[in-house]
Structure 1
Amino acid sequence: MDIKIIYFDLPFWRAEISRLPLFIANIDFEDFRPSDEEWDYAKENGKMKDGTKIPFSELPVLSINGESIAQTMAIARICGKLGGMYPEDIIEAGKVDQIVVAVENINALLSPSMKESDPLKKKAMRKELTSNELPTYFGYLQDILDANHSGWFVGDTMTIADLAVWSLLGWIASGVIDGISAEVVRPFDGLVRLYNEINKNPRVRAWKIKTYDHDKVRDDEYSFGVPDSI
């Protein structure tokens, strides 16, 4: 099977929930991270220079046996199924999907403040996010996690739902979003345990060492710029 995941050179959750299931399961794939020039070409022409189509002119894109699939959730389902991290049962599959969509919703909450150029307005938006919106969503996630009693969001093993939350929490706690820190996550013990458990996974550790900034990946201290324990 010829598999290629196309996304920017970032450890962002939209790509990690598809890259990691393949890597963890030792499934060969091309981890293609286009340069600015390559991406400009793709946006203008609707395809990469090698002919790989880019539906909607957005990334990520999965190319599988020459067919292009776009949209985060669609790609994650395929890679999750290939890697054994997406359930066959339709109810459990729906439970996985609802967590990934919740992560997309949290991403959408953060997006307006990312685009705000006025520093005072941005600061006020981030304060509202930290005080109200993010804790509310984290509370919803914690309730679902606690109700499953296994330490995972769905079933008894790690799924793409867990990877989505793990990667999102790492991004939020990394310090790259001014005004939002790991402190917003710390009150949610279940989410913190999930984050730390995934960090300890040997294949996740190997992926970080292989693909993230090596100066920021140490055995006891960092996960792409954030502490392993938050």
Structure 2
Amino acid sequence: MTATLPYLGYIVQGLTVTIGVTLAIFASAMVVGAFVALGSASEKLALVFFARTYITVFRALPELLCVFIVYYGADIALQASAARFGTPYPDISPFAAVTVALGIQFGAYCAEIFGDARRAIPKGLHEAGDALGLGPFKVVRRITLPLVLVNATPALGNLFLVILKVSALASVIGLEELTRRAKIVAGTTREPFAPYAIAAICFLIVTAAAGFLQHYLERRSQFGRRAVKP
């Protein structure tokens, strides 16, 4: 343990990278999921087919496989492009690669979450919006979108925690996030337990904070929606 203490700051600094890549993946997944959910709810059969196929394929693939395909696939594509046009060969950013790979994959889960949240909205609310003279855009902006976010909050919170843990896969392509730094320190000090224990504590702290925020948002989203008892 004493040999690990001088590296404590180095390990903890990796937590900022872990949080950063988690937020980037989560934001990308929400954007992708929103568009796929819209396609799945479309009246055009081609869009529905594409959306359902996308969801089925990416929910079936392992996360690590997606990371390897995007990282090494982009590397091959950039090598071929550089050789063809005679341009310098750029390095692949592990941060960008894992964000794209897992953002696309978890976008399939977000699409299902948004779809379920939309289907949970009573049709009478949309009819009430039409009766009040609201146009389709205002119905979506003032009724559908807020209620979708409210209904999706618990599932999105759980998905965020999953992404936080899966973000450790970024270490396999060289991103120095929390677990990779713990591995480096473990190899340097020959004390594997202490660095990984510190990493585990960091994950527990972030998970606890995210869980607290999730419960807070759930309580806030339910404010005013509870039935008033006589």
What TM-score does the superposition give when structure 1 sets the normalisation length? 0.28
Bigger Rg, which one: 2
Structure with the larger helix share: 2
What TM-score does the superposition give when structure 2 sets the normalisation length? 0.28
Higher relative CO (Cα under 8 Å, sequence separation at least 6) belongs to 2
Structure with the larger strand share: 1
